[in-house]
Amino acid sequence: MERQVLLSEPEEAAALYRGLSRHPSLSAACLGPEVTTQYGGQYRTVHTEWTQRDLERMENIRFCRQYLVFHDGDSVVFAGPAGNSVETLGELLSRESPSGTMKAVLRKARGTGPGEEKQFLEVWEKNRKLKSFNLSALEKHGPVYEDDCFGCLSWSHSETHLLYVAEKKRPKAESFFQTKALDVSASDDEIARLKKPDQAIKGDQFVFYEDWGENMVSKSIPVLCVLDVESGNISVLEGVPDNVSPGQAFWAPGDAGVVFVGWWHEPFRLGIRFCTNRRSALYYVDLIGGKCELLSDDSLAVSSPRLSPDQCRIVYLQYPSLIPHHQCSQLCLYDWYTKVTSVVVDVVPRQLGENFSGIYCSLLPLGCWSADSQRVVFDSAQRSRQDLFAVDTQVGTVTSLTAGGAGGSWKLLTIDQDLMVAQFSTPSLPPTLKVGFLPSAGKEQSVLWVSLEEAEPIPDIHWGIQVLQPPPEQENVQHVGLDFEAILLQPSNPPDKTQVPMVVIPHGGPHSSFVTAWMLFPAMLCKMGFAVLLVNYRGSTGFGQDSILSLPGNVGHQDVKDVQFAVEHVLQEEHFDASRVALMGGSHGGFISCHLIGQYPETYRACVARNPVINIASMLGSTDIPDWCVVEAGFPFSSDCLPDLSVWAEMLDKSPIKYIPQVKTPLLLMLGQEDRRVPFKQGMEYYRALKTRNVPVRLLLYPKSTHALSEVEVESDNFMNAVLWLCTHLGS
């Protein structure tokens, strides 16, 4: 058995972090075409993409690895790797053509000037690069979108064209006092061209362009672009309504047009990252006549349309409420030929027994259809787990593919010709890569999974799920009977359990959740001898729509009471050291943590808060999601209304800043100066209030970091400083 690291040994903590941070995670996978050997055997290649922290280079690196899967049509006969991993440099997007004979790659490369980047769209065939287009030099549009909100790279069914989303080309601008020397040797035509008034617009250098918020600061006006692979001609599609921004596009049946999601951007853009409630709809634009047709309800929000293999139907996620930023969704089906839309899976208000609790994924996998175009496969949080599900689109039945398994969490990477590629992990097991065939309808629970890439379990971590029922006085009167859960990690065999300190971590959002998957920080803390409590308070995803709707208007109360109840319950049941309990939370988790040290100052000896919401009222005018402030405070949001004094008073009343006079817990603040979601001035407001009252507080300000604080240099510094803070204030 490995010796657990003592709290007083930061050098060993750094070594432990270095070791565990090397475990990579899967980011994507695709399947190559079916190959039949000369002996009649069948196999497919699995191309996988991974990410890993590199502490020497202080960056996240991306690499790929291929595997071979031999099968007999409905089960895997043999599977294994085909060579070693290779780092993929500069790849932003990649997509195999429908036949698998070609691959498109969007790649970035350094330009000649300082900080300048170029983008190339490459087409690969067999062992050669067939085509390479310098998109930056062609100047048909701005940078290509590589994000998962708008971005796409889609082959036409004929494999002659590529569809993608890019920033609309902006007019050149210059100072009123900009002068250009004319070349006296230039021809009259060249001089006339230089004198053209539309070359640059004077005085427009500093015109403000709205963007889509956190992690989307360079993205403002997306356009749909089509590349003719043979000629190299690029065209920007016309016909998209002026009031929407297009994304998530793909080719319609027959390549006669393009289907896309259009997001409303009037009267102004709101942050879109992690916000599935942005008003949007499904559209079809005809490439011949340029006519645009609405395919879905335009008063709701939609996401990730996926065309069936037989090109007859489109399945997509639809969010019936524009209020919570994330929620339970509907699975809708649009029949391309009858033009009839049906709801295949509806919103689930509340889970009944062990039944399905609803769909909570924000995106469907690019490959999600069964070979017969009848079933759709996806992953979704179900309480504190994440499972795989198959939905029969004809009758709407939902069947779990992974229930009753090892208790960890699953993520579907792709399915093609019924061969599924998935990731599995647990809080003590880093990500593993598995493949298996989707069984025939009615036999979904008999998937035979085969591992392509195993990970070694991390020893000395014991974990489980705690089911918690709030006491009667904490019931939500509008949503009575809701329960919630917490995931507890603890050292397997501590010498004395009563000496084990506990770190409590509420998640951010608030409408998100922890699932029983691999998480670096909790595993690290547990290996160092801490018990770690991850709380899915009421309002978390995975527990039914009622749970989500119970929280807006009750933040700062219901979520805080739930976490405190979980802490007291676990301390009573597990007998950890109640005098050494600490908090660690980010965003809304930081909001809850700062509430707890104000409302229950005797419980917590230390607190670490990352980009916490401190004052909802003051955050309203500076965040990229002002609707969040209004909705979570319990009011309806409208873009044209200004809150009155009573609304601001209610926001202030629900904020941690209210409880400043009671705070005495030492606090470590970690703030990203480029955070657009919870601007760093929120943390500064708290820091100054605590400094004035002589409460021990330390502030780490990361100048180039955003809300997630996920850059490798920042994240590693976060962890080590958090560990030292806990060691200092909890004691060894």
* Catalytic site positions: 587, 675, 707
Residue matched to tokens 């005809």: 286
Residue matched to tokens 């009649």: 40
Q: What's at 152, amino acid-wise?
A: C
Per DSSP (E only), the strands in 308-460 are 313-319, 330-335, 341-345, 375-382, 385-392, 398-400, 409-416, 419-426, 429-437, 450-453
Contact 397, 375 (CB under 8 A): no
Q: Residues 405, 411, 414, CA angle at the centre, nearest 5°?
A: 120
CA atoms of 381 and 361, how far apart (whole Å): 7
| DSSP helix/strand/coil, 85 | coil
What's 369's DSSP letter?
A: B
| 96 strand-pairing partners | 103
| DSSP helix/strand/coil, 389 | strand
The H-or-E segment that residue 68 falls in is strand 59-71
Cis ω before 472 (30° cut-off from 0): no
Return all residues near 482 (Cβ < 8 A) that are at least 6 apart. Answer: 350, 470, 476, 538, 543, 544, 546, 547, 550
Backbone CA torsion sign across 271, 274, 276, 281: positive
Burial 389-424 (b: 16+ CB within 10 A, else e): bbbbbeeebbbbbbeebeebbbbbbbbbbbbbbbbb
